[in-house]
Amino acid sequence: MTENYFQRLRAQYPISFLSDERLELLLNNIRSEDELKTIFSYLQKHLKSSPNHKENGELLFSYIDKTQYSVREWIEAIILFDNWLENQGRKTDFKKMIGYIECSTMSPENKMLKYNLKELVEKMLNEFGFVG
């Protein structure tokens, strides 16, 4: 996936928003074109939401770094969340979505028994919903 898309995506996202290393990390963890479209659609909207490129581009990675979950697990959780929103006929912005996912990782239920991130987010969405 990396070779096919790196140059095209590099041209769309300033290095101040998404470094080569971060871009490669995302591409190496994306498994399909559908995942690619979903993740980069959110990133594109997020890029346009603020002139502070460095802060915005690093936001996802700062959340990932705070948790024990991998980039791949975060991608799976984002895809699940996006599908959940679509089934609800709703949309949200990327910052709220990844904030919800990060908050889910800190839930009391996840302290005693470490859930798979995708399953944890699904559990939280089904039990508590999402306002955002």
pLDDT in tens, 67-84: 999 999 999 999 999 999
Q: Under a CB-based contact definition with an 8 Å cutoff, are residues 26 and 35 in contact? A: no
3-state helix, strand, coil in the chain (%, to 5): 75, 0, 25
Residues in CB range of 48: below 8 A, 6 or more apart = none
What distance in Å separates the CA atoms of residue 84 and residue 68, rounded to the nearest whole number?
A: 23
Residue type, 100: Y
Most confident of 13-17, 23-27, 49-53: 23-27
Written as six digits, the tokens of 118 are: 């995708």
Neighbours of 56 (CB within 10 A): 20
- % of the chain surpassing 70 pLDDT: 96
> pLDDT-based confidence at 54, cuts 50/70/90?
low
Residue type, 27: L
Mean local confidence (pLDDT), 85-89: 97
pLDDT for res 114: 82
- Judged on CB neighbours under 10 Å (0-12, 13-18, 19+), 21 is exposed
Q: Does the pLDDT at position 34 exceed 90?
A: yes
> pLDDT-based confidence at 1, cuts 50/70/90?
low
pLDDT for res 125: 97
- % of the chain surpassing 90 pLDDT: 67
